[in-house]
Structure 1
């Protein structure tokens, strides 16, 4: 394969691998970055990778469109696997935050997210912003860029392999959602104590409508507990991301 054709093929494969991690709004930590900036970053990294990354020995050229198409699909699957290290921590913490919404009674409030065009819960949205702030403040975005470039060493371009085994994926799911629940566990336990107090008051004064009296109290308690919990949350959130990156890296071939 000629040098120019090889570079062009590697560029296409690198673009397919990095696309989910850097450009897809639902998967990338750069979801709130303008789309043109994300695309420019994607193309720059793909061009850099095409010049220096190792390639698979049996890499197909443009004269083999079916084989090349299969390689592109494999690289896309590889990119989706790499995106799990970003998507799972956010999803785990967001799900745990929705538990707080339901428990506090704030689940009736929804916020529109224009990035993915969905309705999200109030506490879930707040925690997603906290996760994004922690991600960038800890420098994990730089680690992510180095990590996706380093993926070409344990999975050369055109090898069309997944970077994680099914067993590792199932274990990662369990550990991520457990750690996500631990981030907001103090808030959940505090609201449970408020529920116990409200239940005792309801039994003591059955003629009073305690639910509507306690609803503002529960929302205020949830906000106060969440504010106190966020003081200690960054360290645990960083641990969630570190574990995800490590699990996917060690689960590779």
Structure 2
């Protein structure tokens, strides 16, 4: 406590970055976490990180203007890092929503427990599986280590965006969407072939009610394909797991110069 009292300005700036990161990063920002747990986690990480930082910081009493500017920059850094991690995580939601639309589960929207957003059954299932995989592989520890490592790359009061950051963001968004489509591709192909088959059947047997018959068949085909490609899904989960931390490292290097 004596260290925190002597270096309160540094601790406050460090806390601003970590609090912003925790409030926007995946898993740590989930609504199922109590607010006191998020705040305790953020200040606990700040307590660990502050003694390892030797960057000069403005005094909050003698130079309040510069302190406010640095505080805003620290909060922006944390928000950007959390946003990048959340953006990569959205590949899972893209895959789940694409499958839900094709298989018919989009008519039964559920509330995702992590974000309270409306999501289909397959979207919830994909998110649950990847969350368990992420936690099992130590992803939560990796997220905390990433924000702690950020102080050695982006020093207090030093922050800049690369000149081509809009193009970089668009490129990252394209990669995320392509990974989501790749994750859902086997199921989408199976469901598309089912639709094509029933299109031919409707021409061959006009008396058959295609809409009624196709729903259970598409459901069975989608779930069967989901079970068949599960090993490949785990492989893509591993690729996405690595992609999250690779992009965090790229963003840290870009903002740290």
TM range (shorter): 0.7 to 0.9
Contact 1:110 1:120 in 2 (8 A): yes
Q: 1:184 is paired with a residue of what secondary structure?
A: helix
1:190 maps to 2:190? yes
- 1:124-159 Cα shifts (integer Å, max 9, x gaps): 111111111111111222222111111101101232
- 1:157-196 Cα shifts (integer Å, max 9, x gaps): 2324459933332221111221121112111111111111
Q: Give the aligned partner of residue 143 of structure 1.
A: 142
Q: Distance in 1 between matches of 2:112 and 2:19?
A: 21
5+ residue gaps, structure 2, are none
Contact 2:95 2:184 in 1 (8 A): yes
Q: Give the aligned partner of residue 241 of structure 1.
A: 241
Change in CA separation of 1:106 and 1:123 when aligned onto 2, cut-off 3 Å = same
Contact 1:29 1:86 in 2 (8 A): no
Q: Give the aligned partner of residue 27 of structure 2.
A: 29
5+ residue gaps, structure 1, are none
Q: Give the aligned partner of residue 83 of structure 1.
A: 82
Aligned length: 247
**TM-superposed deviation, 1:34:** 3.5
Matches within 5 A, 1:143-162: 143-162=142-161
Q: Give the aligned partner of residue 202 of structure 2.
A: 202
More divergent stretch after superposition (89-98 vs 15-24): 15-24
Q: Give the aligned partner of residue 129 of structure 1.
A: 128
Q: CA RMSD in A?
A: 2.3
**TM-superposed deviation, 1:4:** 5.7
Contact 2:19 2:42 in 1 (8 A): yes
Change in CA separation of 1:116 and 1:93 when aligned onto 2, cut-off 3 Å = closer
Q: Give the aligned partner of residue 65 of structure 2.
A: 66
TM-score, structure 2 normalization: 0.86
More divergent stretch after superposition (119-128 vs 237-246): 237-246
Q: Distance in 2 between matches of 1:90 and 1:62?
A: 37
**TM-superposed deviation, 1:82:** 1.3
Q: Give the aligned partner of residue 97 of structure 1.
A: 96
Contact 2:27 2:114 in 1 (8 A): no
Q: Give the aligned partner of residue 120 of structure 1.
A: 119
Q: Distance in 1 between matches of 2:54 and 2:221?
A: 55
Q: Give the aligned partner of residue 47 of structure 1.
A: 47
Q: Distance in 2 between matches of 1:172 and 1:78?
A: 18
Contact 2:97 2:122 in 1 (8 A): yes
TM-score, structure 1 normalization: 0.87
Q: 2:231 is paired with a residue of what secondary structure?
A: coil
1:223 maps to 2:226? no
Contact 1:9 1:61 in 2 (8 A): yes
Q: 2:101 is paired with a residue of what secondary structure?
A: helix
Q: Give the aligned partner of residue 250 of structure 2.
A: 250
Contact 2:146 2:248 in 1 (8 A): no
